[in-house]
């Protein structure tokens, strides 16, 4: 069995095990098969099925428990159903959702990963779900937490699943450090499951907004640091070293033969404390515990915030293990997939409702935005765009952190 | 008849095939998963076509920096290796962000199908599954399997003999990988 088959089998086994695990865990007094068959038959025959009174539906139970009335924080039955079918919840215009998603897709294809932040901003601020969930904190905390989980899951679907799917290309390259992939994959599994299972139904919107804000603020500070003279000097030195080497390579005569036995990756030694391998004949080593712990932390953060972890895992692997980029990307792809499968299955199994039509419309918008992006990017200055997004991320990060942790609102956030 | 009613009539048709309702339900959801996967694949192909220039540029940059980092490794120049590897990683980050559009194109039909399924089967216990299972519990694994199946079918169809010119036109990433190997 080659590595490709091994990993396909491993991922399939993981997905099926989690799925069956959820099935067994939630198997409680199933209805008789005949009754189920009749209900399925009714649903397929009727023009639209009648909504059965829900007993195991978390959302319906939370709505029933919430106070009903016209005051803020109450379920207003006189108003039309909005987000997740909750009466009185914000009802997002399809045009607004689509337009915002085009913007997110445009950012993804021109500026980069900041599109993920913008997807979150859309759900929390632009569509008004954040204010609504925040308003339920005291009057209907259970419902507020369900709405928060749904916002988080929607972010994850827009950002994380796309990143996970694109990671498959790197997984297909078969450049994996097997022990590292196992260590990182196990860590990711634990981190993603732990974060999704522990936070589902327990995280109120204000806390989520605060942590999301801290993450964006950190991103903004990092982007800002990249523009400082110190960082620029380091980048310049690195680029000069890269350029000097590139020039030296060009001057070298072609046809240099390399011993076949030195090609590729060779694991020399693997114990609980160290993994030694050579790549192109150059020795590397790392402590397997480090990627395991890194996998836990990064996947937990990604699952907790509803973002993809790929953009964090690759820099982590290249900096901690000093692995070549393709090896880091290929190895992290497996961890990203494991993490995404785990957190999505966990969220769904915990009964987190997802507004599929909204996510679908947003995905169409992101698709269109990513088509338009490359056509328009040539008219824009990269440096200017970077500065604009640094300011935006600092403002949004600060705004969300203050609103989430201190209850201080700044305009526009 | 409204457009939605027409779409609903088309989507429900496979669910009403003769036989036990449970079998009809599973067949219908399988047909929906395969159709969504096919539509998603077509959307991805469209986005890839539009993004090709930028995508190839970023992937070529990542591949070039990666190759140079391997050369630095072979020559034992660790400083040059780290510098080239850092630049390769930056280019990789750009390709990852760029691929979000392709991922979205692949997934939107599944979300459309899930919207319809939720509307159609809301509150109906899922055959053979646990009490709180929803149509998504069936649809998502089947959609993933359909994607995998289509991927293998398309790859088989596009596979050319080793010496044919088509074989050279592999995706940029794989080309980079192979060329890196050749360089080595």
pLDDT one-digit tens code per residue, A46-91: 444 334 444 457 788 888 888 888 887 888 888 888 898 898 888 8
Confidence of residue A158 (pLDDT cuts 50, 70, 90): confident
Supply φ then ψ for residue A285, to 5 degrees: -155, 150
When computed from its CA atoms, the radius of gyration of chain B, rounded to whole angstroms, is: 23
Is some CB atom of chain B closer than 8 A to the CB atom of A172? Answer: yes
The CA distance from A385 to the nearest CA of chain B, in Å, is: 15
Alpha carbons A117 and A108: distance in angstroms, whole number: 10
> DSSP of B140-169, one letter per residue?
HHHHHHHHHHHHHHHHHHH---TTSGGGG-
Contact A365, A99 (CB under 8 A): yes
Report pLDDT digits (tens) over A105-116: 888 877 766 777
Residue B48 CB contacts under 8 Å (≥ 6 apart), including other chains: B55, B102
Q: According to the model, what pLDDT value does residue A163 have?
A: 64
Contact B54 A109 (CB under 8 A): yes
When computed from its CA atoms, the radius of gyration of chain A, rounded to whole angstroms, is: 24
Alpha carbons A296 and A281: distance in angstroms, whole number: 31
Mean pLDDT, range A246-273, rounded to an integer: 63
Contact A147, A207 (CB under 8 A): no
Residue of B nearest to A363 (CA): B104
CA angle A277, A283, A288 (to 5 degrees): 45
Is some CB atom of chain B closer than 8 A to the CB atom of A366? Answer: yes
Percent of chain A with pLDDT over 90: 6
How would you classify the pairing of strands A275-279 and A282-286?
antiparallel
Instruction: Residue B87: list chain A partners with CB under 8 A.
Output: 238-239, 242
Instruction: Residue B47: list chain A partners with CB under 8 A.
Output: 367, 370-371
Could you identify the residue written with the tokens 């750009």? B94
Contact B96 A328 (CB under 8 A): no
Contact B100 A166 (CB under 8 A): yes
Alpha carbons B103 and A160: distance in angstroms, whole number: 10
Is some CB atom of chain B closer than 8 A to the CB atom of A324? Answer: yes
Residue of B nearest to A41 (CA): B21
Confidence of residue B125 (pLDDT cuts 50, 70, 90): confident
Least confident segment among A94-103, A206-215, A297-306: A297-306
Is some CB atom of chain B closer than 8 A to the CB atom of A28? Answer: yes
Task: Please give the helix or strand (H or E) that residue B43 lies within, else none.
Answer: helix B21-74
Alpha carbons A323 and A6: distance in angstroms, whole number: 22
Interaxial angle between packed helices A114-121 and A205-226, expressed in degrees from 0 to 180 and rounded to the nearest 10 = 150
Q: Which of A169, A244, A310 sits opposite B173 (nearest CB)?
A: A169
How many residues would you count in chain B?
Answer: 184
Alpha carbons B159 and B50: distance in angstroms, whole number: 23
Is some CB atom of chain A closer than 8 A to the CB atom of B178? Answer: no
Model confidence, pTM? 0.74
Q: According to the model, what pLDDT value does residue B164 have?
A: 47
The helix/strand/coil state of A137 is coil
What Cα–Cα distance (Å) separates residue B42 from each residue in A105, A165, A338, B49, B59? 18, 15, 26, 11, 22
Rounded to an integer, what is the distance from CA A131 to the centroid of its chain? 22
Percent of chain A with pLDDT over 70: 74
Report pLDDT digits (tens) over B70-90: 788 777 777 788 888 888 887
What Cα–Cα distance (Å) separates residue A67 from each residue in A56, A64, B40? 20, 8, 42
Instruction: Residue A35: list chain B partners with CB under 8 A.
Output: 125
Look up residue A52 and give its DSSP letter: P
Task: Please give the helix or strand (H or E) that residue A265 lies within, else none.
Answer: strand A265-270
Contact A214, A120 (CB under 8 A): no
Mean pLDDT, range A103-128, rounded to an integer: 84
Mean pLDDT, range A342-361, rounded to an integer: 82
Contact B74 A43 (CB under 8 A): no
Q: Which of B51, B112, B127 sits opposite A36 (nearest CB)?
A: B127
Q: According to the model, what pLDDT value does residue A362 have?
A: 92
């Amino acid at each position: 069995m080659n590595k490709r088959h091994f990993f396909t089998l491993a991922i399939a086994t993981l997905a099926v095990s989690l799925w069956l695990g959820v099935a067994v865990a939630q198997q409680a007094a199933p209805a008789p098969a005949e009754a189920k068959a009749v209900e399925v038959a009714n649903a397929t025959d009727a023009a639209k099925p009648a909504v059965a009174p829900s007993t195991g539906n978390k959302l319906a139970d939370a709505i029933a428990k919430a106070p009903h009335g016209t005051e803020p924080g109450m379920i207003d039955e006189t108003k039309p159903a909005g987000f997740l079918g909750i009466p009185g919840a914000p009802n997002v215009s399809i045009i607004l959702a689509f337009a915002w998603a085009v913007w997110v897709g445009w950012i993804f294809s021109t500026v980069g990963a900041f599109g993920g932040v913008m997807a979150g901003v859309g759900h929390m601020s632009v569509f008004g779900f954040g204010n609504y969930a925040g308003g339920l904190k005291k009057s209907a905390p259970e419902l507020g937490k369900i709405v928060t989980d749904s916002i988080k899951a929607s972010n994850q679907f827009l950002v994380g699943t796309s990143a996970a799917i694109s990671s498959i290309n790197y997984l297909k390259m078969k450049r994996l450090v097997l022990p590292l992939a196992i260590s990182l994959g196990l860590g990711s599994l634990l981190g993603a499951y732990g974060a999704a299972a522990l936070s589902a139904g327990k995280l109120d919107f204000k806390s989520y907004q605060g942590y999301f804000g801290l993450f964006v603020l950190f991103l903004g500070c990092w982007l800002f640091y990249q523009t400082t003279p110190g960082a620029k000097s380091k980048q310049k030195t690195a680029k000069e070293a890269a350029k000097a080497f590139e020039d030296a390579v060009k001057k070298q005569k072609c046809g240099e033969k390399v011993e076949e036995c030195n090609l590729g990756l060779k694991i020399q030694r693997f114990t609980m404390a160290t993994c030694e391998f050579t790549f192109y004949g150059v020795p590397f080593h790392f402590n397997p515990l480090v990627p395991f712990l890194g996998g836990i932390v990064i996947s937990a953060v990604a699952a907790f915030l509803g973002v993809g972890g790929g953009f964090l895992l690759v820099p982590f692997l290249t900096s901690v293990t000093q692995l070549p980029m393709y090896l880091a990307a290929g190895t992290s792809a497996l961890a990203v997939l494991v993490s995404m499968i785990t957190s999505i299955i966990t969220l769904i199994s915990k009964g987190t409702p997802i507004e599929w039509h909204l996510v679908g419309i947003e995905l169409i918008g992101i698709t269109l935005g990513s088509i338009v992006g490359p056509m328009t990017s040539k008219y824009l200055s990269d440096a200017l765009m970077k500065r604009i997004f640094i300011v935006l991320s600092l403002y949004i990060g600060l705004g969300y952190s203050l609103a989430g942790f201190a209850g201080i609102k700044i305009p526009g956030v | 008849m409204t457009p939605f009613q027409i779409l609903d009539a088309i989507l429900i048709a496979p669910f009403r095939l003769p036989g036990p309702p449970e079998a009809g339900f599973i067949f219908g959801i399988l047909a929906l998963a395969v159709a969504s996967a096919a539509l998603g694949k077509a959307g991805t192909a469209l986005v890839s076509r539009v993004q090709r220039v930028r995508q190839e540029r970023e992937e070529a940059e990542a591949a070039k920096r990666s190759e140079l980092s391997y050369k630095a490794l072979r020559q034992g120049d660790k400083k040059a290796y780290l510098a080239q590897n850092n630049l390769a990683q930056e280019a990789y980050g750009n390709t990852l962000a760029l691929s979000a559009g392709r991922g979205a194109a692949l997934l939107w039909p599944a979300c459309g199908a899930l919207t319809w399924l939720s509307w159609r089967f809301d509150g109906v216990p899922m055959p053979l599954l646990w009490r709180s299972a929803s149509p998504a519990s069936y649809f998502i694994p089947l959609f993933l399997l359909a994607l995998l199946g289509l991927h293998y079918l398309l790859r088989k169809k596009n596979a050319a003999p080793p010496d044919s010119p088509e074989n050279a036109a592999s995706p940029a990433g794989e080309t980079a990988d192979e060329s890196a190997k050749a360089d080595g």
